[in-house]
Amino acid sequence: MMKTLWRSIAGPVGDLRGRVDDWLVLDKHAVRAAAVCRIGTGLAVLGLLLSNFSTRDMWVGQASVWAEPARAISQFPELTLLDGVSSDILFVIYAVTMLAALAFTLGWHAKGANVVTFIGFIAIVGQNPVVGSPGDNFIRLTLLWLLLMRSSEHWSLDAARRERRQAAGKQASREEDALPAWLSTGLHNVGLVALCAQTVLTAMAGGLDKVAERSWQHGTALYSTMQLPESRPFPALSDLLSQSTVLLALVTYGVLLSQLFFGPLLLNTATRRFVIVLAVVVNLVVAVVFAQPWSALATIAATALFVSDDTWELVEDVVLIRVQPVTDWMFERGYDVLDLLDAARYRLVFPVVDWVRFTILRR
């Protein structure tokens, strides 16, 4: 009796484990969606740093002494990464992080750019706990999981370089073959699952926090927020929305629905499309009306992971029809920016670094 019961359980469990193993290591999933997430997250980091570039000293530099009481009670070690650095050093770190975010967005040596962006973002944004937001933490975790994923398989300068090498009959570079195929595929899929789970849990946790507050229960949360000066980038639009009870109710229910039921609505094809569109619309409203464009962009980028690769492939085909003539014209005339950058790195940067090492530093 027990043997029969064990066989009836072990068989389906073994089949399920085999399917999970095959899913993890045979093929990379959602590679185009990962590319969209990479582009959106990189733009969010770049936009956040650029928009605060002129006030960087007040934000995280020597002029941010007003935030010392908050730093003193915080237990996060990252607050000391830029503690007491001069304005010149802060400028260098800030500029390097922005360049890395730009390279990450374009997919130029995406893995290395991802590492530099991740470290620089933590060092800069984590330096001032007073002005931090949940969106900053979401961007940080997204960058962390993207480290495991092959986000430059499509729509990147790395992908363009690989295609040219294959067309020329050359072998893949050491950077591309650093890991066995099964391990690279497995890490990508694990990162994909983790990032999707993080996105779902973040949305649902945000929704639960909102419904637990009296202001959301009474429907006054968005109205109160729109009366704050920092949340009124377009006063006329804020007044229009806050004075219309119907629009205010629609936005309120849209926010709660897109967060509380984000996970369950993904389980069905029809409801998945609905909740993805709703989440994008809600984040666009948050970006425009409440002056939070970069956290909204990062959330939209993560939401793009739930769009199937077939859909992104269709988008790619439509875009290529428009863009292909321009890119062909550029490449026919030798405007290969990637080759120019690689040539500058190997023929100028590396020789200068070696000259400094062996002549000035004598190492």
pLDDT at 227: 86
Average pLDDT value for residue range 284-291: 91
Tokens 């040539």 locate to 343
Instruction: Note the pLDDT tens digit of each residue in 16-31.
Output: 666 777 778 788 888 9
Structure-block tokens of residue 114 = 């991802």
Q: What's the half-sphere exposure (Cβ side, CA atoms, 13 Å) at 304?
A: 22
Average pLDDT of the segment spanning 119-127: 88
Which of 45-54, 119-128, 200-209, 278-287 comes out lowest in average pLDDT?
A: 119-128
Annotate 13-47 with three-state secondary structure.
HHHHHHHHHHHHHCCCCCHHHHHHHHHHHHHHHHH
DSSP state letters, 110-133: HHHHHHHHHHHHHHHHTT-TTS--
Domain locations in the chain? Answer: 323-362
pLDDT tens digits along 290-335: 888 999 999 999 999 999 888 888 888 877 666 666 555 555 554 4
Summarize the confidence of residues 114-132 as an average pLDDT: 87
Q: What pLDDT does 337 receive? A: 59
**What are 142-155's pLDDT values in tens digits?**
999 999 999 988 88
pLDDT at 233 exceeding the cut of 70: yes
| Residues 6 or more apart in contact with residue 219 via CB below 8 angstroms | 248, 249, 252
For residues 23-45, average pLDDT: 91
State the average pLDDT over residues 41-69: 88
Summarize the confidence of residues 240-267 as an average pLDDT. Answer: 90
> What's the pLDDT score for residue 341?
65
Residues 302/262, Cβ–Cβ less than 8 Å: no
Q: What is the percentage of the chain residues whose pLDDT exceeds 90?
A: 37
pLDDT tens-digit series, residues 60-108? 888 888 878 777 777 666 666 777 778 888 899 999 999 999 999 999 9
Closest CA to 241 of 262, 259, 224, 264: 224
What pLDDT is attached to residue 87?
84
Q: Which of 73, 72, 96, 97 is nearest to 83 (CA)?
A: 72
Q: What are phi and psi of 186, to 5 degrees?
A: -65, -45
Mean per-residue pLDDT of the chain: 83
pLDDT at 335: 47
The pLDDT of residue 13 is above 70: no
Looking at residue 354, its pLDDT comes to 67
Give pTM, 2 decimals: 0.82
Query: What average pLDDT does this structure show over 35-48?
Result: 95
What integer pLDDT is reported at residue 284 of this predicted model? 94
- For position 309, what pLDDT does the model report? 86
Pinpoint the alpha helices (H) of the chain: 2-25, 31-51, 56-59, 68-73, 87-106, 110-125, 134-146, 157-167, 181-211, 214-217, 221-225, 235-243, 245-260, 262-265, 269-289, 293-303, 309-332, 337-344, 350-355
